[in-house]
Amino acid sequence: MEQARSYVCKNCYTPVPQGHKFCGRCGTSVPREIMAAQTMLLSKMLEPGKAKLVVIKGEGVSSDPNDETVYLLGGRQHVTGRTQGQIVFEKDAWVSPRHANFYYREDGKLIVKDEGSVNGVYVRLRQPVEVQPGDMFLAGEQAFRLEAAPRETDQAEVDGTYFYSSPKRPASFRVAQVLRGGLTGMLINARDAVSIGRDGCDMNFPNDAFMSGRHCKLEAAGSRFTLTDTGSKNGTYVRIRNERELSHGDYVFIGHELLRVDISA
């Protein structure tokens, strides 16, 4: 006893070998869906070397930890934005209409490119990074900007009147907390270093549940600035300039969306 190895004619019950359009016994045509049949690709299967983005926080994250929202990066490029592209976060006001592009370089490496977004793309620090005045970074639910020391404007008037300044300490840089809408919140001037955390630091955010006790620090050496994550739980993220290569296990912030990069071996 064996199974008929191919399509069985619905008129005369004769097996029709694959590729034949008509039944050899009765001439009845083979239906189109049988002719066009092809293997469906399981959408979550990936080719080796291709990546997927797992949404850790943000749109589409359900309360069930087993129910992951995953974006497969199976094509060559994958634009993400609030209104455009393949990966759309339509409810996130921090995502620009066209925000970023995840694409594969010729050598097969995954690259994330800021497509001129308002808020930029942030990647989690794996080791201390060098930053420059103007650079932004995230820690906990806070956003920060490294700024150069302000220009001094406390010289005497031409008429000889002195400017009465508050006592000031020499500063080589400062760190500004950036609030929603781009406003400046806390602003700390420093000469050598600024530590950021929930408690006991130079900038403290006791009400930020995602901020570690000692989260990160910025250090100045001459005109070079280094941002270091000091063992935080949720990471410190620095805004990329233009584009950056990603590797397995990287975390990327786009607006409110925190994405983990998984690259299959």
Q: Which of 1, 36, 40, 156 binds other proteins (CB under 8 A)?
A: 156
Q: Is the dihedral of CA 168, 169, 170, 173 positive or negative?
A: negative
The tokens describing 259, both together, are 């994405």
Q: How far is the CB of 33 from other proteins (least distance, A)?
A: 45
* 177 lies in the site for other proteins, by CB under 8 A: yes
Which 99-128 residues touch other proteins, going by CB under 8 A?
117-120
11: nearest Cα among 26, 33, 32, 31:
26
Give Cα 83 distance to the centre of its chain: 17
Residue 216 · residue 227 · CB < 8 Å: yes
* 91 lies in the site for other proteins, by CB under 8 A: no
The tokens describing 179, both together, are 């609030």
Q: Which of 10, 25, 91, 168 binds other proteins (CB under 8 A)?
A: 168
Binding-site residue total for other proteins (CB under 8 A)?
Answer: 49
Stretch that binds other proteins, among 46-54, 65-73, 164-172, 212-220 (CB under 8 A): 164-172
234: nearest Cα among 70, 124, 92, 119:
124
In this structure, the number of other CB atoms found within 10 A of the CB of residue 10 comes to 11
Give the bridge partners for 104, in sequence order: 110
| Three-state secondary structure string covering 213-225 | CEEEEEEEECCEE
Stretch that binds other proteins, among 49-57, 177-185, 221-229, 257-265 (CB under 8 A): 177-185
Which 56-85 residues touch other proteins, going by CB under 8 A?
82
Q: Which of 123, 143, 201, 258 binds other proteins (CB under 8 A)?
A: 143
Q: Which of 189, 226, 228, 230 binds other proteins (CB under 8 A)?
A: 189
Q: How far is the CB of 138 from other proteins (least distance, A)?
A: 8
Interacting residue ranges for other proteins, rule: CB under 8 A = 82, 93-97, 117-120, 141-143, 150-157, 159-171, 177-189, 208, 255
